[in-house]
């Protein structure tokens, strides 16, 4: 098996020496978790969980395009929320993406997320 890292300037940079934005292996793209960080300012976007959910998905979309895939080719999504009380607001944004056939998905609440954000999303797509 061969694998290659994805790196695009259209999404926030990965933590150097720790992880990749995504890995391509065996015809699949495995995206690391994306937070609501603006790739230009490198700061969490202002607003609520809806604003940060949009930015998470924009960041994943950029990474997928950098891998020569697309959001419509996503087959699995994991959503991490700091508070399950944000589920409905996150879902109202999430449902606008992913095309007609939605990917399988897991959504869990966790104690703490990077940068103390309220949402992080990761996905797997086909090339």
Confidence grade of residue 98 (pLDDT, cut at 50, 70, 90): confident
The predicted pLDDT at position 17 comes to 85
Alpha-carbon distances, residue 17 vs 21, 67, 122 (angstroms): 12, 20, 19
pTM: 0.95
Q: Which residues contact 95 (CB under 8 A, 6 or more apart)?
A: 102
- pLDDT over 70 percentage in the chain: 100
Q: How far apart are CA 1 and CA 26, in angstroms?
A: 7
Residue-wise pLDDT for 21-70, tens only, equals: 999 999 999 999 999 999 999 999 999 999 999 999 999 999 999 999 99
Contact 60, 72 (CB under 8 A): no
The predicted pLDDT at position 16 comes to 81
């Amino acid at each position: 098996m061969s694998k290659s890292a994805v790196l695009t300037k259209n999404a926030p940079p990965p933590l150097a020496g720790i992880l990749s934005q995504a890995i391509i292996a065996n015809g699949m793209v495995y995206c690391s978790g994306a937070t609501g960080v603006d790739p230009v300012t490198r700061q969490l976007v202002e607003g609520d969980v809806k604003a940060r959910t949009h930015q998470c998905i924009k960041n994943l979309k950029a990474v997928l395009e950098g891998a020569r895939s697309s959001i419509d080719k996503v087959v699995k999504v994991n959503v991490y929320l700091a508070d399950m009380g944000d589920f409905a607001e996150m879902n109202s944004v999430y449902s606008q993406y992913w095309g007609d056939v939605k990917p399988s998905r897991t959504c869990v609440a966790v104690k703490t997320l990077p940068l103390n954000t309220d949402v992080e999303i990761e996905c797997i797509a086909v090339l």
